[in-house]
């Protein structure tokens, strides 16, 4: 199956036994002392069906694995498990967040991971585990933990980048009056924070089922490992919640500053309008064509009118400046 199968390896007593062909999977799975670890990347539905037939997977789990954008979850089918994990990554520091999905089928002697839209594979996880056969002896349950731990570890660089962006936007609030672009930047960041939350929150529920209380048989004895994953998820979730609150505060402050800026502009316009209105009003009075206007024949009428205009405007300008309107 070119372009689909990443690895298909059989292990015995925690050590790599052989790279095997698809048609040999059922043979190795039937051996009590072996387990098979298969990884597939963006396979078409027909190839998922072929693997499902080889492993004897439950049809409902297979249907979920075919559909992208599933909510993180853990389902039990008899003694077998099916889990969905969400990846959140960046192709580069300046790139938008990319969401992916890892569907994992776990049986007594097999692990099948099917990833969709995941930027980085899990070859490093496999290589690291192959160097530690004493851990791989735990079997398929430990591989499940290793994959979940790798997905969770990839949340931390994303979280760091979101926190750095929030700090940058917060600093910009008071350097200049917030604009439409800065408000949009806050909402873009809020969307990315929620993307991470939607991956982390449900996965905490999954991890919580794998230590303490009734633990699935395949994960028995691995409680400490899954508790460590849960602790990491809890840290990310707490940081995300704090960021949500800070974002909401920052957005509120931005709108407040925008309103204050508009209010200041309104005050200045009102002050200048008043200063222009006074001389216009006085000039308008003396521009009326009434027959009896004594001041028009007064020798000091003109300088008196100008003086009144200047005096009133000077007084108003003083009051407006003192009040901060000018």
Which parts of 56-179 fold into alpha helices (H)?
A: 59-66, 123-130, 133-136, 140-153, 155-173
Distance CA(17)–CA(246), nearest Å, equals 52
Query: What are 267's two structure tokens?
Result: 């005050």
Least confident piece of the model among 88-92, 227-231, 248-252: 248-252
> pLDDT band at residue 261, thresholds of 50, 70 and 90?
low
pLDDT tens-digit profile of 138-157?
899 999 999 999 999 999 99
pTM, two decimals, is 0.78
Average pLDDT rounded to a whole number, residues 72-83: 95
Distance CA(317)–CA(315), nearest Å, equals 5
CB of 81 within 8 A of CB of 106? yes
pLDDT tens-digit profile of 119-136?
999 999 999 999 988 989
Average pLDDT rounded to a whole number, residues 199-203: 96
Q: Is residue 155 classed as helix, strand or coil in its secondary structure?
A: helix
pLDDT (0 to 100) of residue 236: 97
User: How buried is 168 (Cβ within 10 angstroms: 0-12 exposed, 13-18 middle, 19+ buried)?
Assistant: exposed
Mean pLDDT over the full length of the chain: 87
pLDDT (0 to 100) of residue 279: 76
pLDDT (0 to 100) of residue 288: 67
Domains, the chain, with CATH or none: 1-137 (3.30.460.20), 260-323 (1.20.58.340)
């Amino acid at each position: 199956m070119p372009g689909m199968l990443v690895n298909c390896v059989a292990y015995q007593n925690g050590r790599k036994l052989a790279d095997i062909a698809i048609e040999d999977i059922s043979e190795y799975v039937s051996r009590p002392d072996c387990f098979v670890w298969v990884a597939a990347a963006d396979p078409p539905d027909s190839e998922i069906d072929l693997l499902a037939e080889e492993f004897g997977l439950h049809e409902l789990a297979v249907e979920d694995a075919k559909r992208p954008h599933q909510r993180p979850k853990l389902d039990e089918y008899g003694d077998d498990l099916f889990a969905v994990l969400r990846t959140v990554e960046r192709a580069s520091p300046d790139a938008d967040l990319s969401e992916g999905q890892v569907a994992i089928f776990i049986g007594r002697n097999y692990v099948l991971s099917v990833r969709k839209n995941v930027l980085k594979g899990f070859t490093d996880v496999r290589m690291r585990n192959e160097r530690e056969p004493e851990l791989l002896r735990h079997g398929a349950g430990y591989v499940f933990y290793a994959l979940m731990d790798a997905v969770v570890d990839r949340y931390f660089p994303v979280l760091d980048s979101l926190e750095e962006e929030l700090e940058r936007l917060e600093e910009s609030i008071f350097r200049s009056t917030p604009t439409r672009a800065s408000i949009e930047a806050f909402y873009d960041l809020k969307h990315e924070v929620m993307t991470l939350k939607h991956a982390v929150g449900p996965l905490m529920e999954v991890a919580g089922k794998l230590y303490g209380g009734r633990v699935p048989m395949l994960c028995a004895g691995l409680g400490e490992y899954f508790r460590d994953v849960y602790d990491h998820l809890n840290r990310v979730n707490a940081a995300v919640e704090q960021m949500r609150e800070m974002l909401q505060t920052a957005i509120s402050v931005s709108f407040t500053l925008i309103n204050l800026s508009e209010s200041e502009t309104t005050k200045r316009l009102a002050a200048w309008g008043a200063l222009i209105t006074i001389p216009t009003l006085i000039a308008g009075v003396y521009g009326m064509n009434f027959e009896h206007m004594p001041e028009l024949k007064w020798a000091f009428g003109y300088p008196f009118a100008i003086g009144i205009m200047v005096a009133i405007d000077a007084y108003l300008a003083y009051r407006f400046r003192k009040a901060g309107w000018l």
